[in-house]
Amino acid sequence: MLICEVKKLINHNQVCRQMKKISEERLFLEKLMNSHSVSGFEESALALYEEYVKPFSEVFRDSLNNCYAVLNPSSCKRILIEAHIDEIGFQVTYIDDMGFVYVRQNGGIDCATLPGSIVEIHTSDNKVVPGVIGKKPIHVQKPDERVKVVELEELWIDTGLSKENVLEMISVGDVVSFRPNYFYIDENRIVSKGLDDKIGVFVIAEAIRRLSKENLYIGVCAVATVQEEVGCKGAKVCVGNIEPQMSISVDVGFATDVPNISKKKYGDIALGRGPVINCNTDCNREMVNIAKSVAKDVGIDVQLNANSISTGGTNTASLQVSNKGIKTLLLSIPNRYMHTQVEMCDLRDVESAIELIVETILFINTNKLL
**Confidence at residue 136, expressed as pLDDT on a 0 to 100 scale:** 84
**Confidence at residue 18, expressed as pLDDT on a 0 to 100 scale:** 52
pLDDT over 90 percentage in the chain: 87
Element containing residue 69 per DSSP (H, E): strand 67-71
Triad 172, 174, 179: Cα angle to 5°: 135
> What is the set of active-site residues?
228
**Confidence at residue 13, expressed as pLDDT on a 0 to 100 scale:** 53
**Confidence at residue 138, expressed as pLDDT on a 0 to 100 scale:** 81
Contact status, residue 355 vs residue 210, Cβ threshold 8 Å: no
Sorted by where each begins, the domain ranges of the chain are: 27-87+193-366, 89-178
Residue 21: closest CA among 31, 13, 11: 13
- Which CATH superfamily hosts domain 89-178? Peptidase M42, domain 2 (2.40.30.40)
Question: For residue 186, what are the CA distances in angstroms to 15, 29, 66, 191, 246?
Answer: 23, 16, 33, 10, 36
Rounded Cα distance between 276 and 273, Å, is 9
Contact status, residue 364 vs residue 246, Cβ threshold 8 Å: yes
**Is 22 a residue whose pLDDT tops 70?**
no
**Is 86 a residue whose pLDDT tops 80?**
yes
What value does the mean pLDDT take over residues 63-73?
97
Instruction: Write the class of the CATH domain 27-87+193-366.
Output: alpha beta
Structure confidence at residue 148 as a pLDDT band (50, 70, 90): confident
**Confidence at residue 131, expressed as pLDDT on a 0 to 100 scale:** 98
Q: Per-residue pLDDT tens for 296-352? A: 999 999 999 998 888 889 999 999 999 889 999 999 999 999 999 999 999 999 999
Q: What are phi and psi of 182, to 5 degrees?
A: -60, 130
What value does the mean pLDDT take over residues 133-142?
87
Residue 227: closest CA among 46, 34, 79, 86: 86
pTM, whole model, 2 decimals?
A: 0.92
DSSP E strands in 200-323: the ranges are: 219-225, 246-254, 276-278, 303-305
Q: Do domains 27-87+193-366 and 89-178 have the same CATH topology?
A: no
